[in-house]
Amino acid sequence: MSFAIPPVAAEPVLSIGTFPITNTMVNAWIAVVFFLLISLAVRSRKARVPKGLQNIVESVVEFLLREVEKVTGDKKKARQFLPIVGTIFLFILFSNWIGLFPGTGSIGVWGMVHGEVELIPLLRPAASDLNLTLAIALFAIITSHVMALLSIGPLNHISKFINIRGVLRSLRNGPMAVIVAIIELGVGFIEIVGEIAKVVSLSLRLFGNIFAGEVLMTVMLGLLAYVVPIPFMFLELLVGAVQATVFAMLTLAYLVVATEDHGGHEENTHGGHEEVLVSTHP
């Protein structure tokens, strides 16, 4: 019997009927329950003058709101995006950090895996499961499209990918306009591919960094269990924070770009140029 490098796929620790419960799901639900208990505790003891836990929570929320507003440049949008971006950031950060708690990856049961006796850990970092990171990435991208549909309207948003307005205008502006509209239509299909690439990029970046950290810690602990792994644990704390920040900021950037009406922006830009020309040519 020996410790082994963790497999890419999360290991099931139990099952409900035919539905397997993996060790990464256990860590993810620990994070969910933690934030649920915090929110219930703050709500039950809410006071006009915050103190204790409420003061900490409000400070975190205010800090996140300021950071989001720096990107959006709009307080209304910052308040609109904060629940999405803040939840993603805090969940990824906490689930990454509890993956470093003692017992995660080392406490488990011995069982047969691929014909060999190996330790099946009861807990494993949640983001080391590609299924979880893919789900969060899908949520982030789908939410950006939903927010865009609500903010700028279905026609404006769909026209970013399938240039309906350009095609309709080209029919009355001559053959060159039709050619340009066809080119823009092709660019729109590239944008659709880009949306798929966003999901792949977000999920693989988070999964790759957390899984690589898990492998690194397993190797270090296998070489020497004392002193040597400590610097690597601090490094993993930093990596966990950086990855949560990167994921959340990219999600925020996608939300901001998706809710901008590029067509209206271009019209305003042209209008501004005309005003400049008028003012400089009396």
272 CB-near residues (< 8 Å, 6+ apart)? none
Dump pLDDT digits (tens) for 73-83.
Answer: 889 999 999 99
Residue 6, domain member (yes or no): no
75: containing domain: 12-280
Average pLDDT over residues 176-196: 78
Confidence of residue 265 (pLDDT cuts 50, 70, 90): very low
Segment 217-242 shows an average pLDDT of 79
Q: What is the pLDDT of residues 148-160, one digit of tens each?
A: 999 988 888 887 8
Region 97-105: what's the mean pLDDT?
77
Q: Residue 123: name the closest of 110, 111, 105, 109 by CA.
A: 105
Q: How confident is the model at residue 111 (pLDDT cuts 50, 70, 90)?
A: low
Residue 4 in domain = no
**To the nearest whole number, what is the mean pLDDT of the chain?**
81
Q: 274 or 170, which is more confident?
A: 170
3-state class of 117 per DSSP? Answer: strand
Report residue 134's pLDDT band, with 50, 70 and 90 as the boundaries: very high
In this model, does residue 282 exceed pLDDT 50? no
How sure is the predictor about 168, in pLDDT bands with cuts at 50, 70 and 90? low
Contact 82, 65 (CB under 8 A): yes
Note the pLDDT tens digit of each residue in 29-63.
999 999 999 999 988 888 877 788 889 999 999 99
2 lies in a domain? Answer: no
Share of the chain above pLDDT 90, in %: 36
1 domain residue, yes or no: no
Q: Is residue 5 part of a domain?
A: no
Rounded CA-CA distance 129/29 in Å is 13
On whether residue 3 sits in a domain, the answer given is no
Q: Closest Cα to residue 63, out of 237, 245, 240?
A: 245
* Residue linked to tokens 């830009």: 269
Specify if 176 maps to a domain. Answer: yes
C-beta of residue 131 within 8 angstroms of C-beta of residue 25: no
> Per the structure, how many domains does the chain have?
1
**Residue-level pLDDT at 215:** 81
pLDDT at 8 over 80: no
Q: Which of 241, 89, 61 is nearest to 69 (CA)?
A: 61
pLDDT tops 80 at residue 104: no
Q: In which band, very low, low, confident or very high, does the pLDDT at 130 lie, cut at 50, 70 and 90?
A: very high
Q: Is residue 123 part of a domain?
A: yes
231 pLDDT exceeds 90? no
Task: Indicate the SS3 state at residue 109.
Answer: strand
